[in-house]
Amino acid sequence: MKVLLRNPRREIEISGARTVRSLLAELKLPRESHLVIRNGELVPGDTRLEATDTIEIRPVISGGC
């Protein structure tokens, strides 16, 4: 699968299928502070990601006035 990471911006290829949680664990990224988007749609942690998917991982950013 193609994985697009933001902040810093980079792209990696990962072979095989896995869940969102296992992908984030493999990349050493905490689930609570990252959004995972598959083919343009936000997905929960138990979603199975296929090798043909395009995944974007974005850090959660909060802010305000």
Domains of the chain: 2-59 (3.10.20.30)
Per-residue pLDDT of the chain (65 residues; tens, 9 = 90+): 999 998 889 999 999 999 999 999 999 999 999 999 998 899 999 999 999 999 999 999 877 66
SS3 59: strand
- What's this model's pTM, rounded to 2 decimal places? 0.86
Which pLDDT does position 7 carry in this prediction? 81
pLDDT for 8: 84
Burial of 9 (0-12, 13-18, 19+ CB in 10 A): exposed
